[in-house]
Amino acid sequence: MQSNVKSELTRDFLKSNVNKHTEKKNGLTYLSWAWAWAEVLKADTSATFHVEQFNGMPYMDVNGTGMVWVTVTIFDQPRTCMLPVMDYRNKPIQNPDAFQVNTAIMRCLVKAVALHGLGLYIYAGEDLPEDSDEPVSVAKAETPKAKKYEDDASSFFAEKMIEYADKAWHVQSVADLTDYWKSNQERLEDLKRDRPDLWENVKNHFTELKLKFKDQKQAEFNKAGT
């Protein structure tokens, strides 16, 4: 009986049009992880996902870069996917920070879900799912629960962007500040789209820090000249 349920779910997922929940960036298409996971829970409330640990870390070290591994289990059927920790240019990141690893994990989660059929056509470079002449969606609208996940994630990201920028060991100059912003460019673009109020707070804080660093540098220059 469960085998029939699995087969039916896979067929439904393969036929589902997820285009309304995707976004294109740098030539690649990304599916909302919160929406995808909400769809999985609608199909199987006992579904789980597991992030593989490597010596206590949620990613495998590969010559200084990171590779995350995520397993999604639906109706007791596990499927595992792996993904490099990449920057906004889709290049592997040396010594990735917590936010970059988290971004990779969420993307890997979506890819692991795709192995069960949902959104799989995206990774095949197709515009529509198989056997679909018209848009078909598993859900008619994003659930309140999924929306809450995205809001919570946005708030957490904005809070930590500011917190990390304030740490002296992490950011000590305008160059450090700029590198930190660029390393999180993609997440910041998402924040600007989804929560412009939070994005504005982060932007204003970074602007204030930039002015502070410039004033400090000028003060040091003046002191050296006396």
Q: What is the CATH number of the domain that holds 98?
A: 3.30.390
Task: State how far the Cα of 37 lies from the Cα of 49, in Å rounded to an integer.
Answer: 10
CA 17 to chain centre: 21
**What pTM does this model have?**
0.57
What pLDDT shows up at residue 137?
A: 42
Residues 18 and 126 in one domain: yes
pLDDT per residue as tens, the chain (226 positions): 455 666 777 788 888 888 888 887 767 788 889 989 998 998 889 999 999 999 999 999 999 999 999 999 998 889 999 999 998 778 899 999 999 999 999 999 999 999 898 888 887 764 445 554 444 444 444 445 445 545 566 777 788 788 777 765 556 788 888 877 877 777 788 788 888 898 999 899 989 988 888 877 777 666 666 5
Task: State how far the Cα of 206 lies from the Cα of 221, in Å rounded to an integer.
Answer: 22
Q: DSSP label at 93?
A: P
Tokens 């198989």 correspond to what residue?
A: 130
Residues 13 and 113 in one domain: yes
Angle at 179 (CA atoms; ends 220, 109), nearest 5 degrees: 150
Asked if residue 122 lies in contact with residue 27, where contact means CB atoms within 8 angstroms, the answer is: no
Q: Which residues of 91-126 are buried (b: 16+ CB within 10 A; e: fewer)?
A: eebeebeebbbbbbbbbbbbbbbbbbbbbbbbeeee
Domain region containing 132: 1-137
Residues 8 and 108 in one domain: yes
Residues 121 and 222 in one domain: no
Asked if residue 182 lies in contact with residue 144, where contact means CB atoms within 8 angstroms, the answer is: no
Task: Point out which residues pair with 31 in neighbouring strands.
Answer: 22
What pLDDT shows up at residue 101?
A: 94
Q: How many domains does the chain have?
A: 2
Task: State how far the Cα of 192 lies from the Cα of 107, in Å rounded to an integer.
Answer: 19
Express the helix, strand and coil content of the chain in percent, nearest 5 each. 55, 15, 30
Residues 171 and 74 in one domain: no
Residues 15 and 49 in one domain: yes
Q: Identify the H or E element spanning 180.
A: helix 174-183
What pLDDT shows up at residue 201?
A: 92
Residues 162 and 58 in one domain: no
Residues 37 and 128 in one domain: yes
Residues 91 and 168 in one domain: no
What pLDDT shows up at residue 80?
A: 92
Structure tokens at 47: 């579904």
Where does a domain end: 70, 105, 137? 137
Residues 80 and 179 in one domain: no
Residues 156 and 173 in one domain: yes
Where does a domain end: 103, 137, 171? 137
Residues 90 and 126 in one domain: yes
What pLDDT shows up at residue 51?
A: 95
Where does a domain end: 137, 171, 200? 137
